[in-house]
Amino acid sequence: MKRIVNGVTYNTDTSVKIGRYCFENDDNVDCVATLYQTRGGAFFEVEEGAKKVWNQREQKEQAREYSTVTPMSVEQAQKWILEIDNVEIFQNPFGDPPEAAAEDSPGATIYVRVPESFKRRIEREATENKASVNNWMMRCAERCMEDSDIRNAKGLVHAWDIAATFRAHNNDGEWSRETCIEALAEVANLIERYCEDRFGTDALANATVDPDSTLESYRKRFEAYASGETRE
């Protein structure tokens, strides 16, 4: 079969057959969809089947065969292979997903295709954190879901609450130096614990080795207070 779609030729005879699945259309007629890849790497789907049409002369429905060609992007082709049930795969250009394995407890497998460079980065991060790739990815996914709710970032919430209390009463003039130091120390401790849980030990120290312009301005602004030079 050869068809021209949007000025481009799609030829099943010169293309590689990737996969196929059967389904029943809205007219309860069995149809077949086949995915192909051209020699140039483009994907397209060929759907073949029959539709019921009304025959005016005979005053009844009859089946009329049809075939359609639908160009697909790489992402659409990959989704076609991975997400449609009961696809018969002849050749998978994306690589096969992991084989099913017996599990001691109920679970599921998520197959994610990523660039090779990103895969190496994941493996490196997992090794540095003394974890398997599977456990590391689970931890990352859990963190992403937790990060969607600010209430899960308790350390930051508590630190903000302390600082906001001082900000709300900044004109009272009733805060002693010792009270301010105690509050700032607690804010620092809360942020440190949060960052250690979220980014690992020494994350904050490493992040401030080469301070940016904003951090430098903060340091210059408060350096005198930290050293006690502003005391009367």
Both 181 and 207 in one domain: the answer is yes
Return the DSSP state at 5: E
Residue 80 identity: W
Question: Confidence band (pLDDT; 50, 70, 90) for 229?
Answer: low
Domain termination residue (choose one: 41, 73, 89): 89
157 and 212 inside one domain: yes
Q: Are residues 60 and 81 in the same domain?
A: yes
Residue 104 has pLDDT above 60, yes or no: no
In a domain, 191, yes or no: yes
In a domain, 213, yes or no: yes
Q: Are residues 69 and 49 in the same domain?
A: yes
Range of the domain at 12: 2-89
Question: For position 119, what pLDDT does the model report?
Answer: 84
Amino acid at 35: L
Reported as a pLDDT band with limits 50, 70 and 90, residue 115 is confident
pLDDT per residue as tens digits for the range 160-197: 777 777 777 666 666 777 887 788 888 888 887 777 77
Is position 110 within any domain? no
72 falls within a domain: yes
pLDDT of residue 28: 76
In a domain, 136, yes or no: yes
Please check whether residues 167 and 222 belong to one and the same domain: yes
User: 63 or 174: whose pLDDT is higher?
Assistant: 63
Residue 106 placed within a domain: no
Which pLDDT score is estimated for 232?
A: 45
pTM exceeding 0.85: no
Residues 18 and 70 in one domain: yes
Q: Check residue 177 and give its pLDDT.
A: 75
Residues 16-28: pLDDT tens digits?
A: 999 999 988 777 7
Residues 121 and 195 in one domain: no
Is residue 201 in some structural domain? yes
The amino acid occupying position 150 is I
18 burial via Cβ count (<10 Å: 0-12, 13-18, 19+): buried
10 Å CB burial of residue 3 (0-12, 13-18, 19+) is: middle
**Of 102, 130, 145, which residue sits at a domain end?**
145
Residue 221 falls within a domain, yes or no? yes
Query: Could you tell me the pLDDT band of residue 156, with boundaries at 50, 70 and 90?
Result: confident
Quick one: which H or E segment has residue 167?
helix 154-168
Q: What sign results for the dihedral spanned by CA atoms 45, 46, 47, 53?
A: positive
- How far, in whole angstroms, is CA 88 from its chain's centroid? 27
**Number of folded domains that form the chain:** 3
What pLDDT does 95 receive? 77
Task: Kindly state whether residues 212 and 161 are assigned to the same domain.
Answer: yes
What's the chain's Rg over C-alpha atoms?
Answer: 31
Cβ-based burial of 143 (10 A; exposed 0-12, middle 13-18, buried ≥19): middle
Domain boundary among the residues 89, 105, 125 is at 89
Q: Among 13-17, 113-117, 215-219, 223-227, where is mean pLDDT lowest? A: 223-227
